[in-house]
């Protein structure tokens, strides 16, 4: 292994991940898997903060686990696990709740957004969601946490909690660094390009799912909201075009200058088709592998069991230290 630094990140099994999840996070995880000590997981404890059918949750968790393997993450070398199978997460989260201020948690914009969106179910879990996330990260003494822009505030809170805990008890918890790539960190909705692309959007033309077929991808990108200017160039005043340029740039490696030159005398029709093709090409290997691995049920089960054991082993070491420092009789 080229680098012993620990890289950790999780994703919620709240439905098939979107192109936003992929370009903002998953794709970067796969790139780091060979060179770092990587720990990746399905955050199923987090996903019950929104009401979920039991059967759906189980299926989505299994499917998401398969997708992580399909990404090319190596379950022998990396730790790939399901959060609820590692009880240390809930235990450390409780302890960290007692080192997190009510005011800090109240300031989280995701809490405000989700409370507004699910006003009939503003549960306490939604409020303490970031302390569970801090536990996920701090249990493994992670150095780097690759996430999209929307998770930056939660990462800052995690750092504050770790520093507060260390300030009281000495250097117990590693203070992690967020890894937020400039490009891909915020993929916007295709229907409302000033809003983040999200799988929970009621308008299914707003997002591309990782298992969308080529036809669907073409249709969704063709219907993406742009503007009446009909010229392809990057500007904050053209959020729809800027978003498509961002997607095209991440998928092809072309710079914005290259893209502007490529479409200088062409309209949005040609541009959108090229964007759709680049997305189709980008997702093709993942989709093929995902289909194959989904059928390997026994293998996936075995990987998850081993992943949970390995995760528990690492997590327990930190939890033990924390409990000793706090003064529990253990």
Catalytic-residue membership of 284: no
CB atoms within 10 A of CB 288: 11
Minimum distance from CB of 266 to ligand TYM (Å)? 27
Question: Is the CB of 27 or the CB of 238 nearer to ligand TYM?
Answer: 27
151 vs 263, which CB is nearer to ligand TYM? 151
Contacting positions for ligand TYM (CB under 6 A): 9-12, 20-21, 24-25, 43, 46, 133, 136-137, 145, 147-148, 150-151, 185-187, 196-197
- Active-site annotation holds for 196: yes
| Comparison of 15 and 263: residue with beta carbon closer to ligand TYM | 15
Report the nearest approach of ligand TYM to the CB of residue 261 (Å): 26
Please identify which of the residues 5, 59, 112, 114 carries the catalytic annotation. 114
The nearest distance, CB 241 to ligand TYM, in angstroms, is: 17
* Nearest Cα to Cα of residue 157 among 101, 196, 113, 115: 101
What's the min distance (Å) between Cβ of 308 and ligand TYM? Answer: 16
CA–CA gap between residue 156 and residue 20 (Å, rounded): 21
User: 92 or 147, CB closer to ligand TYM?
Assistant: 147
Long-range contacts of 216-224 (CB under 8 A, 24+ apart): 217/276, 217/279, 217/280, 217/283, 218/273, 218/276, 218/280, 220/190, 221/190, 221/272, 221/273, 221/275, 221/276, 221/279, 222/272, 222/273, 222/276, 223/190, 223/191, 224/190, 224/191, 224/193, 224/272
Nearest to ligand TYM of 145, 276 (CB atom) = 145
| CB closer to ligand TYM out of 93 and 263 | 93
Residues 6+ apart with CB under 8 A from 86: 41, 308, 311, 312, 315
Active-site choice (58, 186, 196, 238): 196
Rounded distance, CA 101 to CA 125, Å? 15
The catalytic residue among 199, 220, 272, 310 is 199
Look at residue 327 and give its three-state secondary structure: coil
Q: How far apart are CA 86 and CA 307, in angstroms?
A: 9
- 325 catalytic per annotation: no
Q: How far apart are CA 98 and CA 266, in angstroms?
A: 58
Q: Left (φ > 0), alpha (ψ -120 to 50) or beta: where does 170 sit?
A: left
In the complex, the smallest distance separating the C-beta of residue 143 from ligand TYM, rounded to whole angstroms, is 13
H/E run at residue 68: helix 54-70
Distance CA(89)–CA(301), nearest Å, equals: 21
155, 108 in Cβ contact below 8 A? Answer: no
Question: Minimum distance from CB of 70 to ligand TYM (Å)?
Answer: 16
Q: Give the catalytic positions in this structure.
A: 114, 196, 199
């Amino acid at each position: 292994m080229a680098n012993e630094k620990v890289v950790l990140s999780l994703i919620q099994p709240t439905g098939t991940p979107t192109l936003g999840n992929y370009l903002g996070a998953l794709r970067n995880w796969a790139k780091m898997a060979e060179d770092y000590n990587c720990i990746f997981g399905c955050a199923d404890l987090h996903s019950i903060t929104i009401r979920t059918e039991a059967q759906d949750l189980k299926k989505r968790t299994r499917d998401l686990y398969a997708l992580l393997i399909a990404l090319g993450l190596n379950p022998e070398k990396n730790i790939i696990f399901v959060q609820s199978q590692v009880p240390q997460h809930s235990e450390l989260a409780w302890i960290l709740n007692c080192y997190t201020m009510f005011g800090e948690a109240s300031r989280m914009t995701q809490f405000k957004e989700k409370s507004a969106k699910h006003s009939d179910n503003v549960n306490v879990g939604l409020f303490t969601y970031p302390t569970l996330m801090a536990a996920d990260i701090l249990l493994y003494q992670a150095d780097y946490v690759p996430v999209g822009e929307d998770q930056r505030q939660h990462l800052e809170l995690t750092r504050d909690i770790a520093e507060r805990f260390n300030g009281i008890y000495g250097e117990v918890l590693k203070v992690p660094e967020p890894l937020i790539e400039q490009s891909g960190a915020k993929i916007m909705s295709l229907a409302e390009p000033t809003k983040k692309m999200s799988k929970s959007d009621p308008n299914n033309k707003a997002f591309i799912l990782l298992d969308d077929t080529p036809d669907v991808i073409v249709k969704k990108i063709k219907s993406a909201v742009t503007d009446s200017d009909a010229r392809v160039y990057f500007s904050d005043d053209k959020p729809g075009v800027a978003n498509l340029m961002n997607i095209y740039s991440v998928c092809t490696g072309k710079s914005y200058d290259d893209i502007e030159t490529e479409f200088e005398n062409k309209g949005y029709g040609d541009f959108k088709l090229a964007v759709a093709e680049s997305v189709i090409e980008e997702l093709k290997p993942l989709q093929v592998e995902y289909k194959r691995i989904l059928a390997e049920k026994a293998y996936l089960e075995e990987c998850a069991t081993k992943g949970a054991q390995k995760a528990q082993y690492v997590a327990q070491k930190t939890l033990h230290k924390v409990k000793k420092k706090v003064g529990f009789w253990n």
